[in-house]
Amino acid sequence: MISKYKSVRLFGVVALATAVFTWVGCQTKDKPADEKQRFVLPDSLYKTIEIDSARMSKVINSITLTGKVDFNADKVFKIFPPISGVIQQVNGMLGDYVKSGQVLAVVKSGEMAGFSNDLITAETNLQVAKKSLDAANDMFKSGLMSQKDQLAAQAAYDQAKASLEKAQRIIQLNGGTQNGEYIAKTPIGGFIVERFVTNNMVIRADNSTPMFTISDLKNVWIIANVYESNIPFVRTGDSVTVTTLSYPGKIFRGRVDRIMNVLDPTNKVMKVRIVLPNPDYMLKPEMFANVTVNTIENKKMLSIPSRALIFDHSQYYVLVFKSRSDISIRPIEVANIVGDIAYITTGMEEGEKVIASQALLIYQELNS
């Protein structure tokens, strides 16, 4: 009986111990599930992110305008024919790049033929005058001619020489040759942006239409339209960003160069001009342009980089950074976004740091 009683008590102790270990084991396994592990920014990601601070900045307002690309009129040369004639040859096509001095057209001209005849006559007269002068000098040295006659021969030679130089200048100024042709050359390098001539076309010297228009497109103009309600907000020197349909992801930057202080009578808008560098010739005349003019007001607001913003469920958020293990999601109210700047009304204080790159990736990790 005693042996049987000891066996029952031993079995009870073993059962109790098993229950305790089982409970402790369950508690140990359940504990991590009840506590969320704290997020720590990995060192590899920390080295790649950008951290910026909230700061007081001057308020910039933006106005969106429409416009078009135009060639720089200060860098344009229009080629008009100085004489009348018939075009024998056209070398330049619309849009071609031409070098300074390149021949664009050859014109056969009766006027130029007359200039060529005058040149030939002047050359002949000079040869005759030169022979007469040489003979007069020899005779004067021999005492067979008076000084008066020798001086007259010298004067005739000088006059013949002047006539030849005049005939040469006339042909040179008119771009002609001794064959009675006018050679149209471009005095500047650039692109042919206008062409109004074809082979065998008759041209006149009094025509108001140029043969060619050459433009250096290294700089172009943007002519933008400002409606009356926006006129007070546009000033000379305001910074401008320009986009085009051809290059939707490309932003061109410049400044308002000139304001035309009159309204276009047709569409009732004021024109403003922006000069843009165009080293790669991406911008071409007559392209449509979207123009954003940024005007600076005389007040300041709290601002952060716009790339730090996260928009989720109709709410803007930022990631406030204190340390790699202390990053918090902060809802904020945004007053306006202008380019790279977001103006904040509530939710942040000056000097607080925000993550300004790869914020969405970290935001998703914090919410997971």
Contacts of 273 (CB under 8 A, 6+ apart): 221, 222, 223, 224, 256, 257, 258, 259, 260
The CATH number given to whatever domain includes residue 316 is 2.40.420.20
The CATH number given to whatever domain includes residue 197 is 2.40.50.100
Among 2-11, 120-129, 142-151, 216-225, which stretch is predicted with the lowest mean pLDDT? 2-11
Q: Provide the pLDDT for residue 244.
A: 95
* Same domain? 233 vs 288: yes
- Summarize the confidence of residues 294-306 as an average pLDDT: 90
* Same domain? 185 vs 230: no
* Residues facing residue 254 across a β-bridge: 240
- Summarize the confidence of residues 177-204 as an average pLDDT: 86
Q: Provide the pLDDT for residue 345.
A: 94
- At residue 16, does pLDDT exceed 70? no
What DSSP line would sit under 333-344, residue for residue? EEEEEETTEEEE
* Same domain? 259 vs 279: yes
Q: What total number of domains does the chain contain?
A: 4
Confidence label for 147 from pLDDT (cuts 50, 70 and 90)? confident
Confidence label for 28 from pLDDT (cuts 50, 70 and 90)? very low
* Same domain? 289 vs 319: no
Q: Provide the pLDDT for residue 350.
A: 95
Confidence label for 86 from pLDDT (cuts 50, 70 and 90)? confident
What's the mean per-residue pLDDT of the chain? 84
Confidence label for 12 from pLDDT (cuts 50, 70 and 90)? very low
Residue in the block written with tokens 């942006």: 193
- At residue 258, does pLDDT exceed 90? yes
Which one-letter amino acid corresponds to residue 328? S
Q: What percent of the chain has pLDDT over 90?
A: 46
* Same domain? 186 vs 86: yes
Q: Provide the pLDDT for residue 36.
A: 54
* Same domain? 224 vs 345: no
The CATH number given to whatever domain includes residue 115 is 1.10.287.470
Domain span including residue 120: 110-177
Q: Is residue 153 part of a domain?
A: yes
Of residues 27 and 219, the one with the higher pLDDT is: 219
Record the pTM: 0.59
Q: Is residue 3 part of a domain?
A: no
The CATH number given to whatever domain includes residue 227 is 2.40.30.170
Cα distance between residue 44 and residue 206, in whole Å: 74
Q: Provide the pLDDT for residue 113.
A: 62
Confidence label for 144 from pLDDT (cuts 50, 70 and 90)? confident
* Same domain? 123 vs 243: no
- At residue 168, does pLDDT exceed 60? yes
* Same domain? 184 vs 291: no
What DSSP line would sit under 245-261, residue for residue? SS-TT--EEEEEEEEEE
* Same domain? 209 vs 221: no
- Summarize the confidence of residues 154-168 as an average pLDDT: 87
Q: Is residue 16 part of a domain?
A: no
Q: Is residue 24 part of a domain?
A: no
**Last residue in a domain, options 147, 177, 207:** 177
Cα distance between residue 2 and residue 88, in whole Å: 137
Among 31-45, 126-140, 144-158, 212-226, which stretch is predicted with the lowest mean pLDDT? 31-45
Cα distance between residue 135 and residue 129, in whole Å: 10
Q: Provide the pLDDT for residue 207.
A: 84
Contacts of 166 (CB under 8 A, 6+ apart): 122
Cα distance between residue 124 and residue 113, in whole Å: 17
What DSSP line would sit under 9-52, residue for residue? HHHHHHHHHHHHHHHHHHHHHHHHHHSPPPP---HHHHTT--EE
Confidence label for 117 from pLDDT (cuts 50, 70 and 90)? confident
**Nearest-5° angle of CA 218, CA 222, CA 226?**
165
Q: Is residue 30 part of a domain?
A: no
- Summarize the confidence of residues 4-15 as an average pLDDT: 39
Q: Is residue 146 part of a domain?
A: yes
**What tokens were used for 218?**
């290294």
Q: Is residue 2 part of a domain?
A: no
- At residue 312, does pLDDT exceed 90? yes
Residues 313-335 pLDDT 10s: 999 999 999 999 999 999 999 99
**Which of 77, 305, 272 has its CA nearest to residue 192?**
77
- At residue 172, does pLDDT exceed 80? no
Cα distance between residue 204 and residue 84, in whole Å: 4
Cα distance between residue 361 and residue 363, in whole Å: 5
* Same domain? 149 vs 197: no
Is-contact 174 83, C-beta < 8 A? yes
**Last residue in a domain, options 177, 200, 231:** 177
- Summarize the confidence of residues 199-225 as an average pLDDT: 91
Confidence label for 177 from pLDDT (cuts 50, 70 and 90)? low
Cα distance between residue 181 and residue 109, in whole Å: 6
* Same domain? 130 vs 257: no
Q: For strand 270-277 and strand 252-263, is the pairing parallel, antiparallel, or unpaired?
A: antiparallel
Among 25-39, 44-58, 60-74, 347-361, which stretch is predicted with the lowest mean pLDDT? 25-39
Q: Provide the pLDDT for residue 175.
A: 62
* Same domain? 285 vs 224: yes
- At residue 343, does pLDDT exceed 80? yes
**Last residue in a domain, options 240, 265, 298:** 298
